[in-house]
């Protein structure tokens, strides 16, 4: 039995909405009873038309200042190329110092759209996994040790010392959709984060990989917070709700994560290859609260207790209000 209770989060999609608008939603999200806000950390967005590109770390600080209860973190940061991991450690140590117990850090192997535009190369997957593992080592050392000397394969520290430390430990989540990084999450992270996938892929691939990693680290898999991002759109008009998710089509193409494709105009054009049927399978296009409840319950039954909702709805305030009125109270009272 997991030691983690049910938590429901909301995604601040920095690619889709301008930061000022997302900031205006923070009070609504808190009143609705969400527990957390996961912030996408991108340099380029997944599409070009009507896209946005705010900086996640700046937004987190401003949003946390507005909130009293919500926790905030990235979903997710690549700490290996455009960011030096020591700077990631400093940034989140500062956030953790100012907002104790309300900051977390999501990490991943990255996407070409965020690294290549600023002059970084796009290494093979194996190299990026090695970089991520070393980056986590650097971050944790700086959070817990003094005047750190470190010489790794990719990063070097010379008597590096953080003079502002987090007031409480900052949970690190590692995002993965395949077994290699899922095992890394089991070894090194406080939480594992994934996305909507086939049920058998969780059961036969990802969960066993997390467990293997935990066992290698000498700990129980029950110590790892199992988190999932779910994709939803809400409106009484089904067609309106569906049209609102079409901008995300390219995210369903696996090759987008593998190859050096980084121009949002090109990415958007590849989205035209995705069928409506594929989008409807990946996204919940829900016209009633009951559909959204059943969708989250599905992931809970698979073993997730930390579920954050990425909404691409025609009216986000309306969606947040519906969750606060119907979805969150039901789930929190039913699954205590």
Q: How far apart are CA 142 and CA 20, in angstroms?
A: 32
Token reading at 92: 């989140």
Confirm if 41 and 12 have CB atoms less than 8 A apart: no
**What contacts 246, CB < 8 A, 6 or more positions away?**
271, 279
Q: Which is nearest to 318 in space by CA: 307, 330, 326? A: 326
**Active-site position among 15, 30, 42, 235:** 42
Show the DSSP H helices in the chain as ranges: 19-24, 26-32, 56-66, 85-98, 112-115, 125-144, 179-188, 199-201, 207-216, 238-243, 255-258, 264-270, 276-282, 289-302, 316-322, 328-334
Annotated active-site residue 111? The verdict is: yes
**Active-site position among 30, 111, 130, 316:** 111
**What contacts 245, CB < 8 A, 6 or more positions away?**
231, 233, 279, 283, 285, 312
Residue 229, helix vs strand vs coil: strand
Q: Give the β-pairing of 103-107 and 71-74.
A: parallel
- Give the count of alpha carbons within 13 A of 300, CB side only: 17
- Give the count of alpha carbons within 13 A of 286, CB side only: 24
Residue 335, helix vs strand vs coil: coil
Annotated active-site residue 308? The verdict is: no
Residue 227 φ/ψ, nearest 5 degrees: -120, 150
Run of H or E including 231: strand 225-234
Confirm if 56 and 41 have CB atoms less than 8 A apart: yes
Q: How far apart are CA 31 and CA 118, in angstroms?
A: 38
Residues marked active site are found at 42, 111
């Amino acid at each position: 039995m997991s030691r983690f209770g049910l938590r429901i989060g909301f995604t601040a999609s920095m690619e889709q909405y301008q930061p000022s608008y997302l900031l205006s939603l923070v009070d609504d999200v808190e009143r609705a009873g969400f527990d957390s806000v996961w912030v996408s950390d991108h340099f380029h967005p997944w599409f070009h038309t009507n896209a946005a590109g705010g900086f996640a770390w700046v937004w987190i600080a401003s949003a946390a200042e507005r909130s009293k209860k919500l926790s905030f973190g990235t979903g997710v940061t690549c700490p290996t190329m455009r960011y030096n991991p020591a700077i990631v450690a400093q940034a989140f140590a500062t956030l953790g110092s100012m907002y104790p117990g309300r900051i977390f850090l999501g990490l991943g192997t990255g996407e070409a759209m965020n690294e290549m535009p600023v002059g970084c190369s796009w290494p093979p997957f194996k190299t990026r996994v090695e970089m991520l593992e070393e980056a986590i080592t650097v971050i944790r050392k700086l959070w817990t040790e003094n005047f750190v000397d470190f010489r790794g394969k990719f990063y070097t520290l010379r008597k590096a010392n953080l003079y502002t430390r987090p007031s409480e430990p900052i949970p690190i989540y590692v995002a993965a959709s395949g077994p290699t990084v899922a095992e890394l999450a089991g070894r090194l992270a406080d939480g594992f984060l994934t996305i909507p996938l086939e049920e058998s892929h969780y059961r036969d691939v990802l969960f066993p990989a997390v467990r293997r990693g935990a066992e290698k680290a000498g700990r129980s898999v029950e110590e790892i917070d199992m988190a999932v991002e779910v994709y939803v759109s809400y409106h009484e008009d089904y067609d309106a709700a569906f049209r609102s998710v079409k901008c995300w089509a390219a995210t369903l193409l696996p090759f987008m994560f593998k190859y050096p494709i980084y121009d949002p105009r090109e990415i958007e054009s590849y989205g035209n290859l995705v069928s409506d049927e594929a989008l409807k399978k990946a996204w919940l296009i829900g016209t009633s609260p009951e559909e959204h409840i059943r969708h989250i319950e599905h992931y809970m039954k698979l073993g997730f207790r930390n579920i954050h909702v990425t909404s691409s709805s025609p009216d986000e305030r309306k969606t947040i209000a519906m969750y606060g009125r119907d979805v969150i109270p039901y789930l929190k009272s039913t699954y205590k």
